């Protein structure tokens, strides 16, 4: 576990870190061939369950999907998001992080926030739970529209200060969500652990996207999402072919029957 983390940290300033989300085994299996980190993100709430907020995602949701993902991973580092209201104090955070790790065999957890939850993160790390930080937009805390972070001098200073604090207490990397380019550049230069950007510019040490978004499975118009393939179209083509062959009695032929 620690070796995997060390390997990821050692990529800083050498090669870009590839991080993607997965919520199930089949996706994880394929992503594992290319990724350094597979994140079971609480974005599964909006992507799979149509929730309008990640706050509705439960610990059981995260554990169930993570158990499936675990079966698909051979080499990547597996990180699981701690969902909303599962780390309100040190005791609750440690109990729930241990539960996630014991039940899913993931190697690390991710928590959203900086100084407000620093004591909690520190407590987890002291208890040998590897933690990935998350700054910039914090979906578990956002009410209403998402606005990018780090545009004003005040916001810039706050994000840099919080990144340095997270590094100091021992996180092994930090996700920067929708952080303005010059700020993510400064953060990335200011800390020794890697930054993983989502909508936060090329200057981050690595990039993460929600896999369903990049594959075109999830309808979204978020600026940072690039559709790398239209998998929805491919699925439609396959299903259409199946329908046609069933209706024309071409399928199942003898080859596919007992």
Nearer to ligand KIV, 34 or 153 (CB): 34
> Cβ contacts of residue 68 below 8 Å, gap of 6+?
23, 24, 25, 28
176: three-class secondary structure by DSSP = strand
Q: Which residue, 71 or 222, has its beta carbon nearer to ligand KIV?
A: 222
Q: Which is nearer to ligand KIV, 39 or 93 (CB)?
A: 39
Q: How far is the CB of 245 from ligand KIV (least distance, A)?
A: 37
CA distances from 206 to 96, 177, 179, 190, 213 (A): 28, 12, 14, 15, 17
The Cα 82–Cα 96 span in angstroms is: 8
Q: What are phi and psi of 99, to 5 degrees?
A: -60, -45
Quote the least distance from Cβ 25 to ligand KIV, whole Å. 17
Q: How far is the CB of 222 from ligand KIV (least distance, A)?
A: 10
Count Cβ atoms below 10 Å from residue 50 Cβ, excluding itself.
8
Q: Which of 107, 112, 167, 177 is catalytic?
A: 177
* Interface positions with ligand KIV (CB under 6 A): 21, 39, 41-43, 81, 175, 198, 208, 210
- Coil, strand, or helix at residue 105? coil
Spatial distance between the Cα atoms of 162 and 111, rounded to a whole number of angstroms: 13
Question: Active-site residue 177, yes or no?
Answer: yes
Least spacing, CB of residue 207 vs ligand KIV, in Å: 10
Using the minimum distance from each CB to ligand KIV, give the nearer residue, 142 or 251.
142
Residue nearest to ligand KIV (CB): 41
Active site residues: 177
């Amino acid at each position: 576990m620690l070796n995997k983390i060390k390997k990821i940290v050692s990529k800083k300033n050498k090669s870009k870190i590839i991080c993607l989300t997965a919520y199930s085994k089949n996706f994880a299996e394929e992503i594992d061939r290319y990724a350094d980190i597979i994140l079971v993100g609480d974005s599964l709430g909006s992507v799979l369950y149509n929730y309008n907020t990640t706050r509705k995602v439960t610990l059981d949701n995260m554990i169930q999907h993570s158990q499936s993902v675990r079966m698909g991973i051979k080499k990547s580092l597996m990180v699981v998001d701690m969902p909303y209201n599962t780390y309100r104090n040190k005791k609750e955070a440690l109990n729930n992080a241990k539960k996630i790790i014991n039940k899913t065999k993931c190697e690390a957890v991710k928590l959203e926030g900086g100084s407000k939850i620093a004591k909690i993160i520190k407590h987890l790390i002291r208890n040998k739970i590897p933690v990935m930080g998350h700054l910039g937009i914090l979906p578990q805390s956002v009410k209403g529209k998402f606005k990018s972070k780090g545009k004003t001098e005040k916001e810039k200073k706050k994000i840099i200060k919080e990144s340095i604090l997270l590094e100091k207490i021992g996180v092994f990397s930090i996700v920067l969500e929708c952080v303005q380019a010059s700020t993510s550049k400064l953060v990335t230069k200011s800390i020794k652990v890697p930054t993983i950007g989502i909508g936060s510019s090329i200057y981050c040490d690595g990039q993460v996207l929600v896999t369903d978004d990049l594959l075109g499975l999830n309808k979204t118009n978020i600026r940072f999402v690039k559709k790398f393939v239209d998998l929805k179209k491919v699925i439609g083509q396959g299903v259409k072919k199946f329908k046609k062959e069933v209706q024309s009695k071409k399928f199942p032929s003898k080859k596919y029957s007992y």
